[in-house]
A and B are shown apart, each in its own frame.
Chain A
Amino acid sequence: MSSRDEDKRLIERTIKGEKEAFELIIRKYQRSLFNYIGRMVGERQLALEFTQEVFLKTYSSLRSYQPQYKFSTWLFKIASNFVIDFWRKKKIDAFSLDERQNSNSHISPLQVAANEKSIIRKFEISQLRTKVEGLLREIPAGLREVFIWRHINELSYEEIAEIKGIPVGTVKNRVFQAKELIRKLLEEKNEVPQH
Chain B
Amino acid sequence: MKCLSIEQIYLYIGQEFSPAEKKEIKEHLASCSKCKNAFEERKLLVQAAESLPLWETPPQFTKQVMARIFSIKILPSAWIKAAAAALASVSVTLLIVFLATGQNLSTLLLGLNHSLWNYVRNILPFFVKLFKLASLLLGVLQQFTGYLSKAFSWLTALAIWQIQLTLSIIAIILIATLIYGIKRKILVGEKA
Question: Residues on A close to B: CB < 8 A?
Answer: 14-15, 19, 22-23, 26-27, 30-31, 34-35, 38-39, 44, 47-48, 51-52, 55-56, 59-64, 108-112, 114, 116, 118-121, 125, 128-129, 131-133, 147, 151-152, 154, 172-173, 175-176, 179-180, 182-183
Contact = CB atoms under 8 A, between A and B. Distances in A.
A56 B52 contact: no
Contacts of B58: 48
Contact of B42 (A23, A172, A179): A179
Contacts, number: 143
Contacts of B7: 110, 172-173, 176
B167 interface: no
B: contact size bracket: 35 or more
Choose among B47, B65, B72 the residue with the greatest number of A CB atoms under 10 Å from its CB. Answer: B65
B55 A129 contact: no
Interface of B: 3-7, 9-11, 16, 34-35, 37-38, 40-42, 44-58, 61-62, 64-66, 68-70, 72-78
Nearest to B34: A112
Choose among A44, A60, A179, A180 the residue with the greatest number of B CB atoms under 10 Å from its CB. Answer: A179
A132 B166 CA distance: 90
Contact of A120 (B44, B65, B75): B44
Given A52-B64, A63-B77, A109 B6 contact: yes
Contacts of A38: 55
A132 B34 contact: no
B159 to A, nearest CB: 64
Given A118-B41, A132-B52, A60 B73 contact: yes
Given A34-B57, A131-B48, 20 more contacts: A26-B66, A35-B55, A39-B55, A48-B61, A51-B57, A52-B61, A56-B72, A60-B74, A109-B6, A111-B6, A112-B9, A118-B41, A120-B45, A132-B49, A152-B54, A154-B50, A173-B7, A176-B10, A179-B10, A179-B49
Given A27-B62, A63-B76, A111-B3, A116 B34 contact: yes
Contacts of A131: 48
B69 to A, nearest CB: 5
B72 to A, nearest CB: 6
A59 B42 contact: no
